[in-house]
Structure 1
Amino acid sequence: MILSSPHPDLLLPDVSFSEYVLRNIQKHGNEIALISADDNGKAYTYSELYESVLRCAGALFNLGVKKGDVVAVALGNRAEFPIIVLATAACGAILTTCNPNYTADEITKQFLHSKPSVVFVESGGLQTMIKVAEEAETIKQIFTAEKHSRCKSVWDLIAETGRKDFPFDVRPETKETPFYLPYSSGTTGLPKGVVLTHSNMVAIVALTGLAFAPSKKDCYYLVLPLFHIYGTMTIFTNLIQGIKTVLQRRFSVESFLHCVQEYKVTKTTAVPPMILAIYNSPLLSKYDTSSLQSLFSGAAPLPETVGFEVMKKLNLRVVQGWGLTEAVPLTATKDEQTPLKSIGKVIQNTKIKVVDTETGQELNCNENGEICVKGPQVMKGYYKNPEATAGCIDVDGWFHTGDIGYFDKFGHIYIIDRLKELIKVKGFQVAPAELEELLLRHPSVTDVAVIGIPDLKSGELPQAYLVVNDRSVTENDIHKFIEGRVSPYKYLKGGVVFCDVIPKSASGKILRRELRARAAAKAKL
């Protein structure tokens, strides 16, 4: 049985992403678009953003950025991020995002694959990026977000360039030309570049507007990273709709509550660990949060009991959503009758089916299987990786999500498990294969398997099972080996377990379910 939205499809314009966003931004004139909470509440109007995009695009074009070139952004939540994204789109080039907190090794691995020629970084990340450029030789120019004594900033480029330099004649083929290139581990394995075309991005933003149902009266608090697709779709949806967005680069309960009180925030997007931290904080009673109306939860499942308690305590609506970097958004919650544990119904322009994981046969109501989707928001494929693309998009064009779920008789969809091996730490993806590859470099490790174990604060934590040839190796030795080689959220905070053998199937695949069962049994002791 194939599910579709109960609402009419949305007519999606066949234009480039920059044209789509800019023509909407232009409508909102001198209204406040963005507020940078980390920069003393500095505000940017829609007119200022529009002008900055035109000049930044002209500057990139004058630098020789053209169709097929890659521009990389390793920035936190700041106004410069959407400006550079739109400027790159206007040049017909590809924009790839990168976590600014990555180590030099992690960034190098990604950039050797994506091959950017121009990179924008945080001032504090300049030295790291200079080191990356020594190996990633395609990098020709590095710019900072803020003014810096050692190199030009994006604002220097904007100041030096006039509107007349905007590349008006660039017209990318919207359905075929790659534009946005975030990296995701997909359903399994190491990070892969997700190719999103201009049409994909227009669909993502337009459909997110339907899912979030924003109002121009809203004030939106956004701390989820813009380099993540969740943050990307939120910021551009808000800009399209003329909504004021408060940006913050790091989350703390106190800074969140301060922003809600200071700016009369009405809506926010969060991941479950953030929601739990807010709910359990003794600071709640010290701030006025009466303006807050809705909280959108995503990136990981929110326990139903937690959702109910948060709604009761904060007097607001909690809504769960679902999507992947490869396909987002997929569902929308439009009515109060949607059960909290449901991720909603199929969004417009999209089709969803549930299939048997062994036979591929379509399943019916209340039958568990893998969820497959079709729609204009589904990626074109994985960058330079046709094998991985063929492994998740079948010959009929269905994208296999790797998530296990079902739908009820009303069309509400539920996620209950996932085929994918990804570990989600505070909403961030951790690929077991990446950590396993790293651990196997340790001279004493002969075999390894990494799983995620449940954690109340983080959602999940990575835990490693190791076979070693030296019994004197300790858990602390392994932790020290990991530290500095990957980002802190990838550390083995779930612990290290030494064992004699890693359970595997006849074909050699790691039986992670056995390890998760073993970890769960131990947790009950």
Structure 2
Amino acid sequence: MPDSGLVEEPARDPVAEAAGRRPDRLALIAGDTVVTWAELDTRVSAAARWIASRTAPGDRVALLLGNTVEFVVVYFGTLRAGRVAVPLNPGYTADEREHAITDSGAALIVDGPPDTAGTGDTPAVPKSNDLAVLLYTSGTSGRPKGAMLTHAALAANHDQLDRIDPPVVGPDDVVLLAVPFFHAYGLNTGLGSVAHHAATGVLAERFDPADSLELIARHSVTVAVGVPGMYQAWLGRPGAAEALRGVRTAVCGAAPLDTGVATRFRELTGRAILIGYGLTETAPVLTTTAVSDRDKRGSIGRPLPGVELLLRTSSGSELWRDGTASVDEDLEVAGSAGTDPGEIVVRGPNLFLGYWPDGREGPGPDGWWPTGDVAYADGDGDLVLVDRIGELILVNGFNVYPAEIERVLMAHPRVTGVAVVGVPDTVTGQRPHAYVTVIGDPAPTPTELQVYCATRLARFKLPGVELVDGLPRTVIGKVRKRDL
């Protein structure tokens, strides 16, 4: 092919850029250890040489490390070396770990501090469209798959977030980094944002409500990047209001946040929790209430600037696009009432290439990618997440969304957890079944909870109720419905 004359841009190096802008600014705080951006940059360079001396360009490097300084050094060292980082959950079972390592073909496994006296030549600078990270999905519906994210996709999500005013994170912020780094949310929204802005990150290797509140107070944390379980746990601690008073931005993602928790947080701190929605495959943020109504409960907001989003029916008809109702007159889109539910389909520079190793199930030729999530646009043009397509329950041909039943049951004052799944039924095909955890003396009975639902749900949506001691969850708080 003839030479087009175009030269691909080099990948951004957020640590090098941060060190160049603010060398003496604290980059990381981990217990009694503090590291400036200049110091981190030096350690990352040494790690890059160490990794390059043991691997070839494009090789995968598995990281079996928690939220530690060592993880940060090895992760950014891997990217700087032009290798592909594969962050893995240190708590994986042997089978789970073996699957990810074998599937990725990892050439190097790092489970401890690297030899930061790395020698050898400085590795070549990777290109922006080179593969940077393989992130394995949580595996709630089967074997985990490695989502292929480029350097450009990781950087694009920060560019999109930068266009929000007022900003979610800025250079003078101190950010709590307690969400695991092997998850896209903790890795790029958390750690990546700290590096992108040359801010300061406070590392928490294991989430503990009391310890994390103490970290927030001691280090004057201004941004909390959290998941629903973290906020719920904080609200149950004495002194939470005092500890959280310096937090100007509270962000929640990875799983739906109960509106009651959001309301209690607002009452306690005077601030709203910003709700975000995204996926590992989108690096990860797609929508947030930060671009719509920051104090709106139950919504996932609107698309980030630079993200195209539409809602589509199962037959392929478009319901809604980027806040504008479809002009197709055959569609029943009732302006003030919002839209019917449809699958979220997205396009943008933050999308993944597909799943490892061949890019299967990635964006189509036109760049659009179906998320598998269902939402509708309300009368204000804000999106409300309904459920996963794969979790849809068909009762006599009628759609039943588990999340709707779960929201009803979670509103009961003595219900602490709910997971609704579809089970076979000889008459209706399927029926909803709710696994519920409760508190109280006496605790509500299954019959009481069914009566409670009957006043709030149509008859065909009424679930069977089974009380359980606990629900199986992933490390970020999502219920493992496949296990149920």
Check whether TM > 0.5. yes
Contact 2:291 2:303 in 1 (8 A): no
| Distance in 1 (alpha carbons) for counterparts of 2:60 and 2:386 | 38
Aligned residues: CA RMSD: 3.2
User: What are structure 2's unaligned runs of at least 5 residues?
Assistant: 1-7, 326-337, 393-401, 435-459, 469-484
Q: Is the 8 A contact 1:208 1:237 kept in 2?
A: no
Identify the match of residue 369 of structure 1 among 330, 342, 345. Answer: 342
Matched, 1:306 2:301: no
Query: Is the partner of 1:201 in helix, strand or coil?
Result: helix
* Counterpart residue identity of residue 503, structure 1: P
Query: How far apart, CA to CA, are the structure 2 residues paired with 1:263 and 1:95?
Result: 30
The question of whether the paired residues in 2 share the 8 Å contact of 1:272 and 1:302 is answered with yes
2:117 paired with 1:159: yes
Equivalent residue number for residue 172 of structure 2: 217
2:51: which partner in 1? 60
Q: Secondary structure at the match of 1:89?
A: helix
Identify the match of residue 106 of structure 1 among 90, 96, 104.
96
Matched to 2:27, the amino acid is A
Residue 151 of structure 2 corresponds to 198
User: Per-residue deviation at 1:210?
Assistant: 4.3
Match of 1:72 in 2: 62
Partners of 1:257 and 1:114 lie apart in 2 by: 37
| Bigger share in helix | 1
* Alignment partners' CA distance in 2, 1:524 and 1:83: 45
Instruction: Pick from 283, 302, 311 the counterpart of residue 354 of structure 1.
Output: 311
Shift of 1:246: 0.6
Aligned to 2:21: 27
Alpha-carbon distance between aligned partners in 2 of 1:206 and 1:335, rounded to the nearest angstrom: 14
Structure-1 residue corresponding to 2:128: 174
Q: Secondary structure at the match of 1:400?
A: strand
Name which of structure 1's ranges 339-348 and 112-121 shifts more when overlaid on structure 2: 339-348
Residues 406 and 415, structure 1, Cα contact 8 Å, conserved in 2: yes
Q: Distance in 2 between matches of 1:512 and 1:180?
A: 39
Matched, 1:44 2:35: yes
8 Å CA contact 1:69, 1:93 repeated in 2 = yes
Counterpart selection for 2:105 from 115, 119, 138:
115
Corresponding residue SS for 1:320: strand
- Given the alignment of the two structures, is residue 270 of structure 1 paired with residue 226 of structure 2, yes or no? yes
Shift of 1:21: 4.2
- Give the counterpart of 2:302 among 342, 345, 370: 345
Q: 1:204 to 1:263 in 2, by over 3 A?
A: same
Give the residue type in structure 1 aligned to 2:178: V
Write the distance in 1 (CA, Å) between the matches of 2:278 and 2:431. 24
Match of 1:469 in 2: none
Q: Contact 2:249–2:273 (CA<8 Å) still a contact in 1?
A: yes
Whether the 8 Å CA contact 2:15–2:37 is kept in 1: the answer is no
Large movers: runs of 4+ above 6 Å: 455-458
CA offsets 1:449-468 (integer angstroms, 9 cap, x no match): xx9996979866698x9xxx
State the Cα distance separating 1:420 from its structure 2 match: 3.8
Asked if residue 319 in structure 1 is aligned to residue 274 in structure 2, the reply is yes
Alignment counterpart, residue 332 of structure 1, candidates 288, 291, 295 = 288
Paired residue secondary structure (2:319): coil
Change (3 A) 1:58 1:519: farther
Q: Are 2:183 and 1:228 equivalent residues in the alignment?
A: yes
Report the Cα offset of residue 402 of structure 1: 1.1
Shift of 1:34: 0.6
Separation (CA, whole Å) in 1 of partners of 2:194 and 2:239? 29
Distance 1:48 1:458, change over 3 A: farther
Identity, in percent, stands at 28
Query: SS of the residue aligned with 1:30?
Result: coil
Structure 1 unaligned regions, length at least 5: 1-12, 122-143, 146-153, 423-450, 466-501, 506-510
Higher relative contact order structure (alpha carbons within 8 Å, sequence separation ≥ 6): 1
